[in-house]
Amino acid sequence: MLRSFKPQLSIAKNLLFKRNQSVWASVEKAPADKILGLTVLYNQDKNPEKINLGVGAYRDNEGKPWILPSVKLAEEYLSKNEENKEYVPIVGSPNFNKLIKNLLFNNDKNGKILLENDRIVTSQGISGTGSLRVLGEFVKKFHNNDNVLVPNPTWANHIAILERSGLKTDKYKYYNFINNGFDKDGMLNDLSNAENGSIILLHACCHNPTGVDPNLNDWDDILNKISEKNLLPILDMAYQGFGSGNPINDLNILFKFNEAIVNGKLSNFMLSQSFAKNMGLYGERVGSLSIITKDSDESIRVKSQLEKIIRPLYSSPPSHD
């Protein structure tokens, strides 16, 4: 008689084991981030002469983090004058967005035209990474092509951000690994063979990770090809000011895109922008995203849909930006 109970006892034990087992038991350990993982290894290294060549960040002569005096003054001002901690609007502080538009688009005649015609929708973003993710979500929802061309090589997180947004990525030639320079012919050839209407990710300046940028004449040829293939450009600008030493001079590529819009060569482009590097605001995650539209009516509609995308992601950005 006891023998007939053994299968039931075995089943009961298995059920009890499964009931007590963590639902995360099958989760595997992920590999460390290629960039941030270097910082972990650096911190673990006991060598007193070690140098951190991983994450680019301001450091003093002793290798310790350094905060810009202007940032300290701003924090001091806020601590004395801030009156509330209320939620900011979904697309961020109106004053912040106004200042961002002024910085980015009010320094060339074509940018001013876009501003005057309300053709720029700007939103405060969670630095450049969060801004690009929002743009990816927007493109996935409203663009009729979900293929994004990215340079080879590009910042390691670019592909992850775009693919987590539901987009597909493909690489175009950018860096000549033999002569360590810009592969203009290879890039233009790949763009010629790209599917019409694809999205293209471009570094506005200080290409990461190569540091190699096209010159202004190269950008004219790139823009011609983008126009010919009706590509939707996303400019990623994480190092404004580090190319020429002047943040306004590093907008020269943006000025060319503004001109292309005003002259009808391009219909739209998008921009993700960050103050993490140039202002040393890494932990504050200060950035913005901008979308160029056809007219003021389209801007109203685009802004309303941006709010719908941002709301379930993080609701609204930090007020200290």
pLDDT tens by residue, 194-232: 999 999 999 999 999 999 999 999 999 999 999 999 999
pLDDT of amino acid 205: 92
- Specify the DSSP element, H or E, that contains 222: helix 216-228
pLDDT of amino acid 31: 79
Other Cβ atoms closer than 10 A to 71: 14
| pLDDT digit string, tens, across residues 223-270 | 999 999 999 999 999 988 888 889 999 999 999 999 999 999 999 999
Residue with the bigger pLDDT between 35 and 313: it is 313
Burial string for 249-274 (b: 16+ CB within 10 Å, else e) reads: ebbbbbbbbbbbbbeeebeebbbbbb
pLDDT of amino acid 78: 86
Nearest alpha-carbon partner for 106 in 98, 155, 18 = 98
Contact 277, 239 (CB under 8 A): yes
pLDDT of amino acid 219: 95
Instruction: Judge whether residue 35 has pLDDT over 80.
Output: no
Name the percent of the chain lying above pLDDT 90.
61
| Mean pLDDT of all residues belonging to the chain | 88
Nearest alpha-carbon partner for 151 in 221, 209, 216 = 209
- Residue position matching structure tokens 């190092």: 239
What pTM, to 2 d.p., does this model score? Answer: 0.85
Under the banding of pLDDT at 50, 70 and 90, the label for residue 3 is: low
User: What is the rounded distance in angstroms from the CA atom of residue 250 to the CA atom of residue 244?
Assistant: 6
Contact 118, 295 (CB under 8 A): yes
User: What is the rounded distance in angstroms from the CA atom of residue 279 to the CA atom of residue 70?
Assistant: 9
pLDDT of amino acid 200: 96
Residues whose CB is less than 8 angstroms from the CB of residue 281 and which lie 6 or more positions away in sequence, other chains included: 71, 275
Instruction: Judge whether residue 16 has pLDDT over 80.
Output: no
User: What is the rounded distance in angstroms from the CA atom of residue 56 to the CA atom of residue 189?
Assistant: 32
CA triple 153-196-146, angle to 5 deg: 65
Say whether the peptide bond before residue 209 is cis (omega within 30 degrees of 0). Answer: yes
| pLDDT digit string, tens, across residues 139-179 | 999 999 999 999 999 988 999 999 989 999 999 999 999 99
- Average of pLDDT values for 112-120? 96
**Catalytic residue set:** 155, 236, 277
Residues whose CB is less than 8 angstroms from the CB of residue 130 and which lie 6 or more positions away in sequence, other chains included: 285, 287, 314
pLDDT of amino acid 82: 83
- Average of pLDDT values for 130-135? 94
User: What is the rounded distance in angstroms from the CA atom of residue 146 to the CA atom of residue 136?
Assistant: 9
Q: Which two structure tokens, joined as six digits, stand for 297? A: 């009516």
